[in-house]
């Protein structure tokens, strides 16, 4: 099957690493960030960061593990972007769009690596995303941003499902479109919050101080608290299990308010 015959081209980034931390960005959006060191091998869908067909940017950072100043002799990272037609059940019929593998680090004093490259895609949709959004460097009043996140936090705390769905209308529409999903997002969110409560996960306090993270070439923002923990962060005190809910926002040029975009 040729790529143009794909009804639902589904793109994923595949990674396999040892003795390093790493970050993967698609079009300057955080596709996967690994901070635990050790080894990991998995893959993650990236269609929701692909707004339309054409060339997509991929940025990879390879970082040393905690308390180390350089990449170890045995460090390695293999990255692959591949795709298949999700409208079929033939998951073996995959095609490679991009590949990267770290060099040999033995006897070399390399603190980190960053590479920026690109790969070509064809998708049957066009998303607005953050294309027409303002850059956050033009927004002077940072208190507005924190206030917006605080309002989202309160909605989660009060389990205000209807308003949470309303605030995420654009996000859900774009993610469902790019992933070829037909979801009852209200039902899914309600089920998730019920499950967290049942399993004794507790929403942690809104952070007393926050840091801002900029993505999407400065047009998308996230705020995190201490230790880079998300604002919507649940924890089970008995098991130490964690769950977080990402909230990435943007602001359209003609709008007076922020929107959740991913």
Per residue in 33-81, pLDDT (tens digit) is 999 888 999 999 999 999 999 999 999 999 999 889 999 999 999 999 9
* Chain mean pLDDT for the chain: 94
CA 254 – CA 7 distance, rounded (Å): 35
**Are 91 and 167 a contacting pair, CB within 8 Å?**
no
**pLDDT at 232 exceeding the cut of 50:** yes
pLDDT at position 20 is 96
pLDDT at position 1 is 42
pLDDT at position 3 is 55
DSSP 257: S
Question: Worst-scoring range by mean pLDDT, 83-92, 195-204, 218-227?
Answer: 83-92
**pLDDT at 2 exceeding the cut of 60:** no
* Helix or strand (DSSP H, E) at 61: strand 54-63
Total residue count of the chain as it appears in this document: 262
């Amino acid at each position: 099957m040729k790529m143009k015959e794909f009804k639902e081209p589904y793109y994923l980034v595949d990674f396999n690493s040892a003795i390093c931390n790493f970050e993967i960005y698609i079009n300057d959006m955080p596709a996967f960030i690994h901070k635990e060191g050790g080894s990991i091998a998995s893959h993650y869908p990236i269609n929701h960061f692909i707004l339309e067909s054409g060339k997509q940017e991929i940025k990879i950072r390879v970082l040393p593990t905690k308390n180390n100043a350089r990449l170890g002799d045995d460090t390695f990272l293999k990255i692959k972007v591949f795709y298949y037609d999700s409208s079929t059940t033939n998951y073996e019929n995959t095609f490679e769009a991009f590949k990267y593998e770290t060099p040999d680090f033995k006897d070399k004093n390399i603190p980190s690596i960053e590479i920026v490259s690109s790969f070509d895609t064809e998708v049957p949709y066009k998303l607005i995303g953050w294309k027409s959004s303002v850059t956050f460097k033009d927004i002077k009043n940072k208190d507005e941003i924190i206030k917006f996140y605080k309002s989202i936090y309160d909605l989660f705390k009060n389990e205000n499902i209807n308003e949470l769905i309303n605030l995420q209308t654009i996000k859900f529409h774009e993610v469902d479109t790019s992933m070829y999903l037909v979801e009852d997002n209200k039902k899914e969110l309600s089920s998730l919050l019920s499950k967290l409560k049942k399993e004794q996960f507790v929403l942690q306090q809104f952070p007393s101080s926050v840091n801002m993270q900029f993505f999407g070439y400065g047009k998308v923002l996230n705020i995190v608290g201490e230790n880079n923990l998300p604002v919507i962060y649940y924890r089970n005190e008995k098991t130490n299990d964690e769950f977080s809910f990402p909230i990435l926002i943007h602001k359209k040029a003609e709008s007076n308010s922020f929107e959740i975009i991913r």
